[in-house]
């Protein structure tokens, strides 16, 4: 039996794949504990053993300024989120290591504190790449920005008296919860192991299944963290889908403010189950939603909002499994036209089916657990 400490940020999409991996490890007889900002880490993991590392309220997604794009968004992400998050989490991760005595630290790619503490204590550490954004070296063509990121990391290493390499990439093992069919070729695979999505069961959500009327179902959702920001876009989705009588539109509006006689509008859905009954999904490009959709072999329309979502949208479009829209500019006619294209051109569904096959072949949580068990420690 081995002891695995999972270090995570307070972000749903980053915790979700590790929940499934944790369950697999526990099922194999290993001991698993979590560490992250509270109370969000406990809420997201629904686990019995969670060590606190920082205050989640200080790092809630809702506190990010709206409308940041390009370098401004990257600058905010690193200077105001990732680096302060690492500094805030290190003391808690230290205490967790002292109390739990892990054999391996499994750290999310945005939870640098896991890499810092593990390196300082000469513990094996593994990177959980819940999104493929960093794997393709997106800053490779921007050396000045790459050097700026390196400088921020060097500051972290100096403050915490660590002399390791890039905090985003374990030299021993990087679990990538995707496949090359979606990301495209990676120049330097190194320690990366593509295991495909690790889809964990979601908490039960009530849903009136009898409201689905048998027409091809198109789901529009912007995830859990974009309620206020997404109201305009979701309203356009309602208008777009209302003008498509041959499909049934389902719009997930967490605010409960949108109303429609032609489109089914709900606050929440059991997403994985509903997606399996859909014909296409319209979303923001969150990694979990993209993975769930492609795991069902469905085409996507993606309107990216922030962070890695633009790159994921580009990957989906390059793979031929969907199309992208401008989140801040798309109107109902644009949405209707794009949804119609992915539904009527069989090439999109065929490409989504190819990605689905690659996901199935990659092994998912079983493969991830196998790789973790093979680590020397």
Domain boundaries, the chain: 3-172, 209-360
DSSP state of 78: I
Average pLDDT over residues 219-248: 86
In contact, 197 and 358? CB cutoff 8 Å: no
Q: How many Cβ atoms from other residues are within 10 Å of residue 151's Cβ?
A: 10
Question: By three-state DSSP, how is residue 163 classified?
Answer: coil
Kind and range of the H or E run holding 60: none
Assign a CATH topology to domain 209-360.
Answer: Rossmann fold (3.40.50)
How far apart are alpha carbons 141 and 358 in whole angstroms?
Answer: 29
How far apart are alpha carbons 69 and 140 in whole angstroms?
Answer: 19
- In this model, does residue 37 exceed pLDDT 60? yes
Average pLDDT over residues 124-151: 79
- What is the per-residue pLDDT for 305? 86
- What is the per-residue pLDDT for 70? 62
pLDDT tens for 97-119 read: 999 999 999 999 999 999 999 99
Average pLDDT over residues 220-235: 78
Percent of the chain with pLDDT over 70: 93
- In this model, does residue 131 exceed pLDDT 90? no
Query: Which residues lie closer than 8 Å to 29 by C-beta, 6 or more apart?
Result: 1
- In this model, does residue 68 exceed pLDDT 70? no
The reply to whether 3-172 and 209-360 are identical in fold is yes
In contact, 59 and 87? CB cutoff 8 Å: no
Lookup: tokens for 122: 């000469």
- Across all residues in the chain, what is the average pLDDT? 90
Burial (CB count <10 Å: 0-12, 13-18, 19+), residue 63: exposed
- HSE-up of residue 368 (Cα within 13 Å, Cβ side): 30
> What pTM does this model have?
0.89
Kind and range of the H or E run holding 247: none
Which one is the CATH code of 3-172: 1.20.1630.10, 3.40.50.11810, 3.50.50.60, 3.40.50.2000? 3.40.50.2000
Kindly give the residue spans of alpha helices, DSSP state H, lying in 201-295. Answer: 231-242, 271-275, 287-295
Band (135; pLDDT cuts 50, 70, 90): confident
In contact, 103 and 2? CB cutoff 8 Å: yes
Task: Count H helices and E strands in the chain, helices first.
Answer: 14, 13
- In this model, does residue 139 exceed pLDDT 70? no
- What is the per-residue pLDDT for 179? 93
């Amino acid at each position: 039996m081995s002891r695995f400490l999972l270090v995570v940020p307070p972000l749903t999409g980053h915790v979700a794949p590790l929940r499934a991996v944790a369950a697999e490890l526990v099922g194999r007889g290993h001991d698993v504990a979590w560490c992250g900002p509270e109370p969000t880490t406990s809420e997201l993991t629904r686990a019995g053993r969670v060590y606190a590392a920082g205050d989640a309220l200080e790092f809630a997604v809702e506190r990010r300024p709206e409308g940041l794009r390009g370098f401004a968004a990257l600058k905010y992400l690193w200077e105001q989120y990732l680096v302060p998050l690492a500094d805030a989490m290190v003391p808690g991760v230290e205490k967790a290591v002292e109390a739990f005595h892990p054999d391996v630290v499994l750290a999310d790619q945005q939870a640098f504190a896991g890499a810092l503490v593990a390196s300082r204590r000469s513990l094996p550490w593994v990177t959980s790449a819940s999104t493929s954004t960093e794997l393709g070296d997106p800053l490779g063509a921007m050396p000045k920005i790459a050097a700026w990121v390196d400088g921020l990391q060097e500051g972290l290493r100096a403050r915490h008296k660590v002399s390791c390499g890039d905090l985003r990439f374990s030299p021993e093992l990087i679990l990538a919860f995707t496949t090359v069919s979606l990301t495209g070729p990676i120049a330097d695979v190194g320690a990366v192991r593509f295991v495909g999505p690790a889809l964990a069961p979601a908490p039960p959500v009530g849903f009136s299944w009898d409201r689905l009327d048998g027409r091809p179902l198109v789901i529009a959702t912007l995830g859990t963290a974009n309620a206020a920001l997404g109201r305009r876009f979701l309203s356009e989705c309602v208008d777009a889908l209302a003008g498509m009588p041959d499909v049934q539109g389902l719009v997930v509006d967490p605010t409960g403010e949108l109303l429609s006689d032609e489109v089914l509008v709900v606050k929440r859905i059991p997403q994985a189950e509903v997606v399996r009954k859909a014909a296409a999904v319209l979303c923001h490009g969150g990694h979990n939603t993209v993975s769930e959709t492609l795991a069902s072999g469905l085409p996507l329309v993606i309107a990216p909002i922030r962070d890695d979502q633009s790159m994921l949208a580009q990957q989906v479009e390059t793979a031929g499994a969907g199309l992208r829209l401008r989140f801040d500019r798309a109107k109902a006619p644009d949405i209707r036209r794009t949804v119609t294209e992915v539904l009527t051109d069989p090439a999109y569904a065929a490409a989504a089916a190819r990605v689905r096959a690659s996901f199935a072949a990659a092994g998912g949580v079983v493969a991830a657990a196998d790789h973790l068990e093979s680590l020397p420690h």
